[in-house]
Chain A
Amino acid sequence: MRRLLSLVPYLREHDGVAMTDAATAFGISVKTLREDLNVLWMCGMPGLTPGDLIDIDMDAVDGEGVIHLSNADYLTRPLRLSADEALALVLALRTLREIAGPGKRNAVDRALKKLEAAAGNVPATDQATVAVTAARDDIQARVNEGLQRGKRLDLTYDVASRAETTRRMVDPLRVFVLEGYGYLEAWCYSAKALRTFRLDRIAAVEVTSVDVARHEVQLKDLSTGWWEALKDAPVVTLELQPWAAWIPEYYPTEAVSPRPGGGLLVSLHVTDPAWLRSLLLRLQGGARVLYPEGAGDSAAEAAQEALDQYAVLLGQPARV
């Protein structure tokens, strides 16, 4: 119904449009569009005599595959935006704004302003917000410049799990937002593979004069979140203390079961052992590895090494 009310003014605006183009514009199949046209030409002014009906040249539809619609002068304009449409679109634009960089941000702001004016009686556009953690403006600008001009980037990046800064050459392929963080997806010449870089961990970036090469790679499917990328990684089972029970809210977990006393048993996929090590350390004993055996050893060893170092440096006892 919503679609039909937009379809009529669209077809008036685009007289002679190809069936395939119209279907693409509305995100529907040609078959669905044909069904819509069948409904439309049964509609019209009260009375519904042939002169009252919306006129569609069905010979042209079935012959050349183009649409000519007439006799619908009362539907020259689409219905105004409903509150949910306006808010969904505004939120989408605000999310884009966070990674648009200084260059395109201006265009986003102008579009937002015009849309909010056109939405008119919808006071709701401030009723939802999305925060995105992205890069500083200067970094964002250079990343986007590399993307748009197709130039290789010289990237200085903090690898969180290894707690190290690295420098590498990458061919930028895409900037995306997933679950509240902005990322650069790029071909990494150090790893010789597709890599994803969190924008807020890019410490510095320079646009080089080298053109990006062609890479046969499959970019990440954003509709499945991080889960799809993780699902083939080994599973680790942790026993969480009650104060570490926030883990399943922040990381995709396979299985969660409560333990007496408020703790949890969780299973999660771990692609990088260094990530698990840093999680276990960060939780300060709030998580214990149950399976696989030994997966927590490197965290325990690192903790012991740190304690020994405190003992040497400060004459502290190794254990409190």
Chain B
Amino acid sequence: MHVMPPRKTERILNLTICLLVSGRYLPKSRIREAVEGYHNLSDAAFERTFERDKDELRSLGVPIEVGSFDPLFDDEPGYRIRPSEFSLPPIDLDAEEAAVVGVAARVWKHASMAEATRSAISKLRAAGVEPDASQLASLEPSVQASEPGFEVLWNAVLDRARVSFTYRDGTPRTLEPWGLTSYKGRWYVIGRDVDRQASRMFKLSRMTDLPRRSSRAGSYEVPADLDLRSLARALAPRERTETAVLAIRAGKAPALARRGDPAVSDIKLPAGFGVYAVGFTDLHSAAEEITQYAADVVVLEPAELRELVVRGLTAVAESGTAA
């Protein structure tokens, strides 16, 4: 997070207090008199500084309302902050709940996300919550976001701003990002592809340039029925619809043996092999998985899968000698 010079911080904090205590809409002229930091500025410099300060406060989430300060003279807009809109509602966490929030403080391994979490927890502390992670010291969840485009996309999702980027296939894309999801430690962005008029998912590590914002904030609506979790599930391994009969050497390939059911085969096997029926999502991924076990797993059926495995083994056997 960027560091403000103390004078600017002072001015913005005084502006906040001024708008917070006034209770009614204050016209700009009154604000200029009330906030010391505006005193020595020319008209133009004041206008500029005031606009920037308002933007700064809004970016922090401070709700500045614009309205008419006087029903009789509505030619100049007034500003105020309603304490009820400004303040964090009461939140009461018991010791166990506060402890898990304490653990959450150290989850993000991404500088600005860690800063956002820290800031959230500071607010909770200021509201009387005492996060104490010490009783859960041995639990250490972490979330990484090493993809360069992560921060731009995260902010675009929050602001509902379009982004443009180039994907690995070389095509330029413009996306209205709805959400981000991490699967197996890699981030994906889901949204509406503007040119293709369809919902799409992109892997951040496959973007070949840094995503750029290409619209103002709030320029589209996220579908109300968006279910990011079920969209994300589309990434997870599909259901196992293929079954293979495998001979597995005792104690080897435990991941396969455990998810299989005992089966029988007519083929005479050497001692120490057991026969299992094992489910797979498709034959090609099954072949990859099985090939890694080399002589510890033998495909008995289907013949098509056996052929894929034998072909894979042949390629590996030859790669060793051809170099």
Contact = CB atoms under 8 A, between A and B. Distances in A.
A4 to B, nearest CB: 6
B295 A309 contact: yes
Nearest to B118: A27
A288 B322 CA distance: 9
A165 B141 contact: no
Contacts of B62: 79
Contact of A107 (B14, B100, B108): B100
Interface stretch (A57-65, A175-183, A264-272): A175-183
B65 interface: no
B254 A313 contact: no
A50 interface: no
Interface string B10-31: 1011101110110000000000
Interface centre among B61, B109, B287 (most CB of A within 10 A): B61
Contact of B146 (A129, A225, A303): A225
A286 to B, nearest CB: 8
Nearest to B229: A129
- Which secondary structure characterizes the binding site on chain A? helix
Contacts of B120: 81, 85-86, 88-89
A112 to B, nearest CB: 9
A46 B323 contact: no
B139 A300 contact: no
Nearest to A284: B312
B68 interface: no
Interface in B288-323: 288-289, 291-296, 298, 306-307, 310-323
Contact of A13 (B107, B126, B254, B312): B126
Given A78-B87, A96-B103, A107-B97, A44 B317 contact: no
B96 to A, nearest CB: 4
- Which secondary structure characterizes the binding site on chain B? helix
A312 B63 CA distance: 77
A92 B108 contact: yes
B49 interface: no
Nearest to B226: A126
A158 B254 CA distance: 6
Given A89-B117, A148-B138, A313-B298, A127 B13 contact: no
Interface string B245-268: 000000111110010000000011
Nearest to A156: B254
A78 to B, nearest CB: 4
A196 interface: no
Contacts of A254: none
The range of chain B's interface size is 35 or more
Interface in A266-311: 278-290, 293, 296-297, 299-307, 309-310
Going nearest first, the 8 A-B pairs with the smallest beta carbon separation are: A300-B320, A285-B315, A179-B185, A284-B312, A82-B61, A180-B185, A46-B34, A77-B87
Interface of B: 1, 4, 6, 9-10, 12-14, 16-18, 20-21, 34-36, 56, 60-62, 83, 85-94, 96-101, 103-105, 107-109, 113, 116-128, 136, 138-144, 146, 154-155, 157-158, 178-186, 203, 205-206, 222, 226, 228-229, 232, 235-236, 251-255, 258, 267-270, 287-289, 291-296, 298, 306-307, 310-323
25 contacts: A2-B1, A9-B127, A13-B127, A45-B17, A74-B83, A77-B83, A79-B87, A80-B85, A81-B120, A86-B120, A87-B116, A88-B113, A88-B116, A92-B105, A95-B141, A110-B96, A114-B91, A131-B182, A131-B232, A144-B139, A165-B254, A174-B138, A249-B186, A249-B205, A304-B317
